[in-house]
């Protein structure tokens, strides 16, 4: 999905910080906003990390982007959602999204790798309490999975809204990291009789399977035909 366009006078990169400059393969890091947005918009699941009772916790969950802000979905009973509501000024989190684009098979075991695109976001997560912002965020989360779906489904009712929580995380301390290309074998290994190269990985969609209880005459929506 596309995020909200940014004003032209805003910087096109995120400022690097001590936490966003990698200690390894720093040449693969990028702070370009367009690249970061494209990686975030292509994903479905993020991993949200925080500290609970002195120990690290990482949870997979759905998310969506609106301009320079991420919205993350959860249940009102989940620990990170309750912590964002109680903590002042919020909950310190680290959020990541990763795409695997290829398996890099080298002649040596040491040089095996993957081609990937990833984003790491550090910041303070806060619970969304404004009813209108919450409804907008939930529509955003639905449309992030399938654009156009929010207007083609029943909106959440009062009970469902009460059982659902959303947290927001501003994009400020952010970095992307990308690995592309082929094998990086040592020169002395090039003559070894082992196959080497890249196995590309691509996301594909299967044929939509209709629910058995569809109302008569319900057609496949156009946004699923275009997947």
Paired residues of 64 in beta bridges: 71
Record the pTM.
0.88
Q: Is residue 14 part of a domain?
A: no
Identify the pLDDT of residue 6.
46
Residue indicated by tokens 């990763």: 98
Q: Is residue 75 part of a domain?
A: yes
Identify the pLDDT of residue 162.
86
Contact 103, 114 (CB under 8 A): yes
Identify the pLDDT of residue 64.
97
Q: What's the CA gap between 68 and 89, in Å, rounded?
A: 19
Q: What's the CA gap between 51 and 170, in Å, rounded?
A: 19
Q: Is residue 58 part of a domain?
A: yes
What is the span of the domain harbouring residue 119? 26-185+192-198
Q: Is residue 78 part of a domain?
A: yes
Mean pLDDT of residues grouped by 10 in the chain (227 residues)?
Answer: 50 92 88 97 96 92 96 72 60 96 98 97 94 93 95 91 92 97 96 97 94 94 89
Assign residue 176 the CATH number of its domain.
2.30.110.10
Q: Is residue 99 part of a domain?
A: yes
Identify the pLDDT of residue 2.
46
Name the domain count of the chain. 1
Identify the pLDDT of residue 26.
85
Q: What element of type H or E holds 161?
A: helix 158-163
Q: Is residue 11 part of a domain?
A: no
């Amino acid at each position: 999905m596309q995020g909200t366009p940014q004003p032209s006078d805003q910087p096109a990169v995120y400022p690097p910080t001590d936490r966003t400059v990698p200690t390894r393969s720093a040449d693969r890091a990028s702070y370009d906003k367009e690249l970061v947005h494209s990686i975030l918009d292509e994903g479905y699941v993020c991993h949200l990390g925080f500290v609970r009772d002195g120990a690290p916790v990482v949870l997979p969950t759905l998310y969506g982007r609106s301009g320079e802000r991420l919205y993350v979905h959860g249940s009102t009973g989940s620990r990170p959602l309750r912590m964002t509501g109680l903590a002042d000024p919020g909950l310190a989190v680290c959020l990541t999204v990763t795409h695997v684009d290829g398996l890099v098979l080298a002649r040596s075991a040491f040089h095996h790798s993957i081609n990937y695109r990833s984003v790491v976001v550090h910041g303070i997560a806060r619970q969304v309490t404004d009813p209108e912002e919450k409804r907008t965020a939930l529509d955003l989360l639905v449309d992030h999975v399938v654009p156009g779906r929010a207007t083609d489904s029943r909106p959440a009712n009062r009970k469902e809204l009460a059982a659902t929580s959303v947290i927001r995380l501003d994009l400020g301390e952010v970095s992307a990291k990308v690995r592309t290309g082929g094998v990086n074998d040592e020169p002395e290994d090039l003559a070894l009789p082992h196959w080497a190269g890249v196995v590309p990985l691509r996301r594909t969609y299967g044929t939509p399977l209709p629910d058995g209880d569809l109302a008569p005459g319900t057609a496949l929506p156009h946004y699923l035909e275009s997947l």
